[in-house]
Homo-oligomer: A and B are copies of this chain.
Amino acid sequence: MSPEHTETAPNLVERLRHAGLRPTRQRVALANILFSSGHRHVTAESLHDEAVSAGVPVSLATIYNTLHQFTDAKLLSQVVVDATRTYFDTNTNDHHHFYCEDDSSLIDIEGEHIAVSGVPTPPKGSKVDRVDVIVRLRRH
């Protein structure tokens, strides 16, 4: 078989195992879609469409389960920019986003580029978990 067909990327299977997730057919297929080509931003629905188009008929419920499991396992990060849609990002490094309100698209901004200074001390009893910067864009 040509590598394209066998391209189930064995390292993905390992990656799932390390994350404590059984490498099931669906999870491997979704991991393959998500992690095979650079960083990506998806919604549950867009990933579902993509999987179905790719001949992997997963149900939407499984997509949601999988996205959350991957997020818990730190394979994905969740990006909250829009109250109506949840985005997942395959880039789990410290980084930020441009969000274009006109077409609801996300663009990564690598962490090194942006510096946030002057964050006040958090209230007693809490610690900073993460700092999200969203640069909202409009067409002009």
Contacts and interface: CB of A to CB of B under 8 A. Distances in A.
Contact of A119 (B114, B128, B129): B114
A21 B81 CA distance: 29
Given A126-B100, A128-B137, A116 B119 contact: no
| Stoichiometry, copies per complex | 2
A73 interface: no
A102 to B, nearest CB: 8
A92 to B, nearest CB: 15
Interface in A89-140: 98, 100-102, 107, 109, 113-120, 122-123, 125-140
Given A82-B80, A83-B80, A101-B129, A135 B117 contact: no
Nearest to A78: B83
A101 B86 CA distance: 16
Given A98-B122, A119-B135, A128-B137, 9 more contacts: A78-B83, A80-B83, A100-B123, A100-B126, A114-B118, A122-B137, A126-B139, A131-B133, A133-B134
**Chain B CB within 10 Å, residue with most, of A86, A113, A114:** A114
Given A83-B83, A125-B140, A139-B125, A119 B109 contact: yes
A132 B138 CA distance: 14
